[in-house]
């Protein structure tokens, strides 16, 4: 389970929670320009460098999310039971699901360009290796001009405009858009009493405008809660404040270990949260074990190198001591 948001302060700040009951060897990875990728049906070289978190397998950057040097961001979120992948089709670009982020961010600089390229993409049922499960995913894609959702359904890859700039998991995206209408009465304002004109009722405190905002960890509820916070936020227009704001919103839809058990009996939890400053190419993250923000800059690496650059996650809690530690 995961939640993804795009915020504009005014540049694009793209963040997500990775909610899982296991680790997948994740690390921060930088893929340089001109990097050769051997795909299932074709090989290609990246046009643009990118940075994100994923697993590096046999030279492949298996990204969960990333941003490229042009400011295009993309994240894959769990979509079990709904994701449909087919067989290779003649005349189309046949890609395995794990290839999609690296392909789109490696070849496209904008959402509009990505949309044109994706019109010819056919996602095929091909795992990276037989011992690695086929990921069942849908994706959110954003740049400074707009946001899309990509869903592989029975009729092929569906591309939706995403004016909410939020994504969670099941059901499919059109359901979330329709369901959001049920919460149109919510407000961040201090609401007047509307119970009855003849019965004035005093408020017991602030926050009553949000009464009815769902607080559980289900996908539909996280979508509504993240959308409410994303569209009612008040944030200074500068990068440090924007990064902090994104993490505050993600914290409000995060999973605490011990609060959500999977069907297999494991604890689902927010293993990491991230925020990507698209304009500056900076990837910020924190893990469940270490709440201090870490940052890796795309601009500080050799983007014309020949190898993946990888950084292990900082998983030990770091504390800044203000007074002298005894």
Catalytically annotated residues: 2
Q: What are the residues facing 51 on neighbouring strands?
A: 30, 67
């Amino acid at each position: 389970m995961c939640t993804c948001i795009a915020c504009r302060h005014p540049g694009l700040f793209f963040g997500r929670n990775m909610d899982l009951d296991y680790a997948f060897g994740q690390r921060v990875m930088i893929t340089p320009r001109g990097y050769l990728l051997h795909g299932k049906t074709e090989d290609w070289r990246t046009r643009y460098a990118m940075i994100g978190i994923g697993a590096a397998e046999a030279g492949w950057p298996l990204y969960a999310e990333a941003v490229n040097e042009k400011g295009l961001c993309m994240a894959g979120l769990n979509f079990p039971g709904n994701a449909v992948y087919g067989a290779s089709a003649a005349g189309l670009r046949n890609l395995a699901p794990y290839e999609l982020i690296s392909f789109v961010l490696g070849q496209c600089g904008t959402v509009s360009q990505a949309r044109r390229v994706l019109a010819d993409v056919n996602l095929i049922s091909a795992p990276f290796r037989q011992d690695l499960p086929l990921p069942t995913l849908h994706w959110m894609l954003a740049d400074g001009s707009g946001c899309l959702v990509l869903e592989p359904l029975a009729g092929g890859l569906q591309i939706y405009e995403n004016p909410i700039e939020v994504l969670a998991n099941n059901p499919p995206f059109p359901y979330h858009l329709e369901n959001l209408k049920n919460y149109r009465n919510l407000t961040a304002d201090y609401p007047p009493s509307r119970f009855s004109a003849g019965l004035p009722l005093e408020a017991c405190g602030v926050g009553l405008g949000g009464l009815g905002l769902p607080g559980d960890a289900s996908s539909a509820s996280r979508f509504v809660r993240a959308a409410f916070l994303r569209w009612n936020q008040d944030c200074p227009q500068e990068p440090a404040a924007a990064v902090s704001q994104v993490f505050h919103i993600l914290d409000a839809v995060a999973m605490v270990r011990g609060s959500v058990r999977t069907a297999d009996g494991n604890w689902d939890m927010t293993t990491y949260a991230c925020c990507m400053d698209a304009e500056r190419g900076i990837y910020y993250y924190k893990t469940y074990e270490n709440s201090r923000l870490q940052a890796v800059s795309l601009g500080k690496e050799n983007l014309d190198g020949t190898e993946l650059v990888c950084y292990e996650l900082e998983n030990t809690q770091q504390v800044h001591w203000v007074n002298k530690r005894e």
